[in-house]
């Protein structure tokens, strides 16, 4: 019984309407004997995070006055904790889609879920999330070496969930570190610890690279030198950042808050993070807080001290701190938030080159143990493991050989990984192997041949595995990596001609949500009004609009159309004709059906036919409003389907719909065209 609030609502509905009513428990989309990345990550969310974000005070008030405080399509339709269960199911289903596809649009909905669930409002933080993807895709092609960090971060997030779920040792260390009973048999504590891990690991993993827009300009300047064949070093022209105090300074409220937590005053975020790192690692690695503060402070202003590299982790930590202060509020910040920030600051180069010196034979110190800083340990491990399916932007990166896919087995507290490379690159692999054999036959003189990242996994030195072992302690974790080749399958990427700035997904979804309300009044409505109506929906209904927006590229492809925010020499679509809306409507019906099945909705019309108890009618304004609420309490809809229907079954189901249902989107779709043109800048064009 993983979704307890749904079960409680089902029990209440059975008492009112008899056996066989919902809501039902969501299907588990994994096999219990499957120990893959996908299965373990979903199992963590489905089973271990029971009771995520429940508020028992809200439940007591609902029981006392009979008024529900949860949001579904509208406020007050369902119990508060039932909404929390559905939110968790949303995250579970969106993570499953992302792991299956790996595309940035599906990564986006993971960020969306996380921000809505743990920050409380996506809109406040949308610029932070969306800017990284836009900056990276548009600016990184000027670099010599650069690969995606947006989908990468969501893969890192999923890896951490899978590792936590599968590794009893890590769970025990994490629980002990944060004051939970380490015994897994204590289910209440186990669920609480898992919910804690999800929140703070999500914060650490999803935002660990948001500082890249600060590192990219630095690398762009150096790329001019690398084009000419020059290596970075003394004599290199480089940029640095001055006057970072506005970014690093703590305000009066923040100083007071952290003084109440730690019993001492900090004037800057740098001081706070230097203390946090030293407190956990200083004694073991023999460094002082003064040394750490100086190292942190020099990161943005003196990159020449760090091999002429700019550390995006510094900017990620500081940028995220300000986002936490703005979105969550200073009164809610705690030590775990600071732990997430120090983990981010450590992950890129700080721990490796300023604390453990893992590549220096004379100064090298022990790898990080998980009990010293569980979040930093997890981030450094998963950040290294996640090297597959990353879009290459840099000029050299596009020609290097990187794994396109990875298969993990987390059984028996181990990590077994197979990284797959494109079989079409076999010629490069054979050439590397031949060159490597010659190097061996020549008594291994000079540097070993490299074919990044294949050589790091295939050469006898096993550089990929050995480097991870030098960074994090893997002595109690069986760990092996095997490189293989296979044919490329890009079908899961669903690539179409439609392109736009990534920023448009949210606005497109807002316009879709408003398409019924403003027919003929599109010029009069304000953007703020549309966004407010969208924000008043529950996460489930918001995601439904976002996923419909994501599907429009596929819909338009079938029509021989595409959308873009750039001026192109094609005929613009100013209105959808009946045959076009019919084609879109049938595809959208399939998406809607599959979405409702995945979200544990059932077919039925009991909400329209049942005799309503007087208490239910009294709780709402009228019978019509009460029946709408009952629909969402039952999670029942007369238009959906049960089971696992085939595509042709859904098309037959659509064909049998009343004509009024089929036609209801005709005008609203044209209203949506006007809304996205006005507020989103997108245009739809015909290919011919």
Q: How many helices (H) and strands (E) does the chain have?
A: 31, 9
As a whole number, mean pLDDT of residues 397-420 equals 87
- H-assigned helices in 147-244: 150-166, 168-177, 187-206, 212-227
Cβ atoms 9, 17 nearer than 8 A: no
Residue 195 has pLDDT above 80, yes or no: yes
Least confident stretch, 132-146, 309-323, 397-411, 479-493: 132-146
Position 493 pLDDT exceeds 80:
no
Pure H helices in 302-362: 312-327, 335-345, 351-354
Q: Tens digit of pLDDT for each residue in 621-643?
A: 889 999 999 999 999 999 999 99
Q: How confident is the model at residue 499 (pLDDT cuts 50, 70, 90)?
A: low
C-alpha–C-alpha distance, residues 64 and 143, integer Å:
62
- Give the number of residues written for the chain: 688
Q: State the pLDDT at residue 619.
A: 87
What are the residue boundaries of the structural domains of the chain, listed by start? 31-204, 396-493, 496-601+640-686
Do 546 and 112 contact (CB within 8 A), yes or no? Answer: yes
CA 401, CA 26: separation in Å to the nearest integer?
A: 40
The DSSP code for 330 is G
Residue 462 confidence class, pLDDT cut points 50, 70, 90:
confident
Among 567, 546, 584, 557, which residue's Cα sits nearest to residue 666? 584
First-to-last alpha carbon distance for the chain, in angstroms, is 54
Provide the β-strand partners of residue 249: 268
Token pair in block for residue 674: 């006007």
pLDDT band at 665 (very low <50, low <70, confident <90, very high): low
In 445-517, where do the E strands start and end? Answer: 479-486
Q: For residue 477, what pLDDT is reported?
A: 97
pLDDT top residue among 330 and 662: 330
Across the chain, mean pLDDT equals 88
Q: Supply the pLDDT for residue 395.
A: 42
pLDDT at 59: 96
What is the model's pLDDT at position 198?
98
Per residue in 283-322, pLDDT (tens digit) is: 999 999 999 999 999 999 999 999 989 999 999 999 999 9
Residue 563 has phi, psi (to 5 degrees) of: -115, 150
Residue 421, phi-psi category: left (phi > 0), alpha (psi -120 to 50), beta (remainder): beta
Q: Where are the beta strands (DSSP E) in 72-181?
A: 75-78
Cα–Cα distance measured from residue 651 to residue 654, given in angstroms and rounded to the nearest whole number: 5
Between CA 484 and CA 399 the distance in angstroms is 19
Report pLDDT digits (tens) over 362-386.
999 999 999 999 999 999 999 999 9
Q: Which of 397, 207, 218 is nearest to 317 (CA)?
A: 207
Classified as helix, coil or strand, 686 is strand
Query: What does pTM read for this prediction?
Result: 0.93
The answer to whether the beta carbons of residues 73 and 538 sit under 8 Å apart is: yes
Q: What is the mean pLDDT of residues 472-495?
A: 84
**Element of type H or E holding 505:** helix 504-513
Question: What pLDDT band is residue 343 in, cutting at 50, 70 and 90?
Answer: very high
Percent of the chain, pLDDT > 90? 56
pLDDT tens digits, 83-131: 999 999 999 999 999 999 888 889 989 999 999 999 887 666 666 666 6
Bond preceding residue 23 cis, omega within 30 of 0:
yes
The answer to whether residues 511 and 672 touch, using CB atoms and an 8 Å cutoff, is yes
Q: Is the pLDDT at 160 greater than 60, yes or no?
A: yes
Assess whether pLDDT exceeds 80 at residue 488. no
Q: What is the mean pLDDT of residues 452-480?
A: 90
What pLDDT does residue 12 have? 95
pLDDT(451) > 90: no
Other residues' Cβ atoms within 10 Å of the Cβ of residue 402: 20
Q: Give the residue from 1, 17, 2 showing the smallest Cα distance to 633.
A: 17
Query: Residue 251 contacts by C-beta under 8 Å, 6 or more apart in sequence?
Result: none
pLDDT (tens digit per residue) in 24-76: 999 988 888 899 999 999 999 999 999 999 999 999 999 999 899 999 999 99
Q: In which band, very low, low, confident or very high, does the pLDDT at 396 lie, cut at 50, 70 and 90?
A: very low
pLDDT, mean of residues 267-283: 98
DSSP assignment of 22-72 equals SPPPPPP-S-TT--SHHHHHHHIIIIITTTTT--HHHHHHHHHH----EES
The token pair at 569 is 């020499």
Q: Which is more confidently placed, 558 or 294?
A: 294
Q: Say what the pLDDT of residue 450 is.
A: 83
The pLDDT value given to residue 249: 95
Per-residue pLDDT at 454: 84
Residue 140 pLDDT more than 50? no
Quick: pLDDT tens for 560-601.
888 887 788 899 888 888 888 888 888 889 999 999 999 999
Q: Please answer whether residues 110 and 154 qualify as being in contact, where contact means their C-beta atoms are separated by less than 8 angstroms.
A: yes
β-strands 479-486, 415-422 pairing: parallel
How far apart CA 479 and CA 464 sit, in angstroms, is 11
Element (H, E) at 530: helix 527-535
Helix axes 504-513, 539-558, angle to 10 degrees: 100
Lowest mean pLDDT among 179-183, 483-487, 554-558, 666-670: 666-670
pLDDT tens by residue, 417-428: 999 998 888 888
């Amino acid at each position: 019984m993983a979704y307890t609030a749904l079960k409680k609502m089902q029990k209440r509905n059975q008492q009112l309407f008899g056996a066989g009513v919902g809501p039902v428990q969501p299907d588990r989309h994994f096999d219990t004997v499957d120990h893959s990345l996908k299965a373990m990550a979903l199992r963590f969310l489905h089973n271990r995070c029971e009771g995520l974000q429940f508020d028992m005070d809200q439940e007591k008030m609902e029981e006392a006055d009979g008024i529900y405080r949860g949001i579904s399509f509208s406020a007050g339709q369902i119990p508060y904790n039932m909404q929390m269960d559905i939110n968790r199911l949303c995250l579970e289903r969106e993570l499953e889609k992302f792991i299956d596809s790996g595309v940035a649009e599906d990564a986006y909905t993971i960020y969306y879920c996380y921000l809505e669930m743990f920050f409380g409002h996506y809109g406040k933080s949308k610029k932070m999330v969306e800017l990284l993807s836009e900056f990276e895709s548009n600016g990184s092609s000027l670099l010599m070496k650069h690969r995606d960090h947006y989908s990468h971060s969501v893969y890192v997030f999923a890896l951490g969930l899978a590792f936590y779920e599968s590794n009893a040792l890590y769970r025990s260390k994490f629980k002990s570190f944060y004051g939970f009973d380490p015994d897994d048999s204590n289910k209440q504590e186990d669920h609480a610890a898992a919910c804690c891990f999800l929140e703070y690991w999500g914060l650490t993993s999803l935002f660990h690279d948001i500082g890249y827009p600060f590192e990219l300009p630095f690398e762009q300047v150096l790329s001019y030198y690398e084009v000419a064949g020059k290596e970075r070093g003394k004599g290199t022209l480089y940029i640095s950042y001055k006057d970072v105090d506005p970014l690093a300074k703590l305000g009066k409220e923040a100083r007071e808050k952290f003084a109440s937590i730690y019993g001492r005053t900090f004037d800057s975020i740098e001081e706070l993070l230097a203390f946090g790192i030293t407190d956990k690692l200083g004694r073991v690695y023999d460094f002082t807080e003064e040394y750490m503060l100086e190292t942190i402070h020099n990161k943005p202003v003196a990159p020449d001290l760090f091999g002429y590299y700019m550390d995006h982790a510094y900017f990620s930590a500081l940028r995220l701190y300000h986002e936490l202060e703005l979105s969550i509020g200073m009164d809610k910040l705690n030590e775990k938030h600071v732990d997430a920030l120090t983990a981010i600051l450590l992950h890129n180069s700080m721990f490796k080159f300023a604390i453990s010196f893992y590549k220096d034979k004379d100064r090298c110190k022990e790898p990080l143990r998980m009990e010293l800083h569980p979040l930093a340990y997890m981030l450094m491990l998963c950040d290294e493991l996640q090297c597959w399916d990353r879009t290459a932007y840099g000029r050299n990166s596009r020609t290097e050989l990187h794994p396109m896919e990875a298969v993990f087995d987390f059984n028996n507290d181990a990590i077994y990984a197979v990284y797959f490379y494109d079989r079409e690159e076999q010629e490069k692999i054979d050439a590397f192997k031949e060159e490597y054999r010659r190097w061996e036959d020549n008594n291994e003189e000079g540097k070993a041949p490299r074919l990044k990242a294949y050589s790091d996994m295939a050469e006898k030195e096993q550089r990929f595995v050995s480097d991870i072992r030098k960074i994090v302690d893997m002595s109690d974790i069986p760990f092996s990596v095997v490189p293989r080749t296979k044919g490329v399958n890009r079908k899961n990427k669903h690539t179409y001609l439609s392109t736009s700035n990534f920023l448009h997904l949210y606005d497109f979804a807002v316009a879709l949500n408003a398409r019924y309300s403003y027919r003929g009044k599109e010029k009069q409505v304000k953007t703020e009004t549309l966004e407010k109506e969208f924000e008043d929906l529950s996460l489930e209904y918001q995601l439904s609009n976002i996923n419909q927006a994501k599907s429009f590229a596929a819909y338009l492809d079938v029509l021989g159309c595409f959308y873009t925010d750039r001026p192109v020499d094609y005929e613009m679509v100013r209105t959808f004709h009946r045959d076009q809306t019919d084609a879109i409507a049938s595809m959208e019906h399939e998406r809607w059906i599959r979405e409702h099945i995945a979200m544990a909705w059932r077919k039925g019309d009991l909400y329209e036919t049942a005799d309503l108890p007087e208490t239910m009618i009294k709780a709402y304004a009228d019978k019509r409003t009460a029946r709408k609420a009952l629909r969402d309490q039952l999670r029942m809809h007369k238009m959906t389907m049960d089971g696992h229907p085939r595509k042709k079954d859904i098309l037959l189901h659509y064909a049998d719909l009343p004509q009024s249902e089929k036609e209801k989107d005709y005008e609203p779709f044209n209203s949506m065209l006007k809304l996205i043109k006005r507020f989103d800048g997108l245009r739809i064009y015909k290919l011919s």
